[in-house]
Copies of this chain bind each other. A is one copy, B any other.
Amino acid sequence: MADNTPTCMSSETILASTVAEPFMQELKTEVSSLDQAPKLVGFLANVDPAAKMYAEWTGKTSMEAGFQFELRQLDKEDLEEKILEANTDPNVHGIMIYWPVFGTSQDTYLQQTVAKEKDVEGLSHIYISNMYHNIRFLDDAKTLKSILPCTPLAMVKILEHLGVYNKVLAYGNRLYGKTVCIVNRSEVVGRPLAALLANDGATVYSVDITGIQKFTRGAGIRLRKHEVEDVSSTLKEVVPLCDVVITGVPSDNYKFPTELLRDGAVCINFSSAKNFDAVAVKEKAAIYIPSIGKVTQAMLLRNLLRLRENQKTMSASK
């Protein structure tokens, strides 16, 4: 007799460390082949103990993979001058800053002060702009790679790991047919991520307090890039359509309405706050990733290696 018991519906929680592991191995191999371990300098100018913990964690991860790491703690008023010094110091190969510093638009100014040649976070205007326009190199000769912002890049690697990116499809088209909801439209993560996934073929609903926008791949020729439109849909209409829901709301009070999820959705939270109720989300989601920090750290280091290659290419061409 056939077994008529329905297959057990189960939800799997995947830790960022699992996704990060192969990247960490790859980084170790690459670094060990270099004459000198690239050096990352982290600037910590706030007194938030969580930021300090995160900074120490970057240090640990960097060392584990074989990189040099130096944490520089300083007063926020000295930060700009110290960034400028590090920009021109040949012994510093990568720079990152622990945010927030001032917590105002002055932080955006400081972000742009980091030389693009050393910007492991990938937040320089040119990197964000290239990402929006799907431009992969800094120069026409294609000798210098453009860096991707590390959190959006981490998300892409996670979606690849989970098989959301369909490897049967052509590169650049591997999210075709997928629908994604991203709750957060910051300039640093949410909006770049929406554009990145749309460029790869997904339909992306980008949600923030001002409303919902729909990102799709544009048909432009000169600039291969996404298109954006404001939509009047509500979360209630949009979420049930989504294969993937990604949240990044930096507030302990925010919880995503998991009752709207379709059965079998993939749920990923990149906020340091827990945007999904851990019990409720598992009643609907096939896969739940509660945080992505370890993958982001691996991507920071991956960017550092790319920057180091660019630096060598530039020195060689002088």
Contacts and interface: CB of A to CB of B under 8 A. Distances in A.
Contact of A186 (B80, B105, B125): B105
Contacts of A125: 109, 112-113, 125
A105 B105 contact: yes
Stoichiometry (number of copies): 2
Interface string A3-25: 00000000000000000000000
Contacts of A128: 109
- Main DSSP-derived SS at the A contact region: helix
B228 A77 contact: yes
A129 interface: yes
A223 B113 CA distance: 14
A221 to B, nearest CB: 12
A187 B106 CA distance: 6
Nearest to A210: B104
A129 B113 contact: yes
Given A105-B108, A187-B105, A81 B129 contact: no
A211 to B, nearest CB: 11
A206 to B, nearest CB: 11
Interface string A167-192: 00000000000000000011100010
A112 B109 contact: no
A231 to B, nearest CB: 13
A80 B227 CA distance: 12
A172 to B, nearest CB: 20
Contacts of A185: 104
Nearest 3 interchain pairs by C-beta = A112-B125, A105-B187, A77-B228
Given A77-B227, A81-B223, A109-B128, 11 more contacts: A77-B228, A77-B229, A80-B132, A81-B220, A84-B223, A104-B185, A105-B105, A105-B108, A106-B187, A108-B108, A109-B125
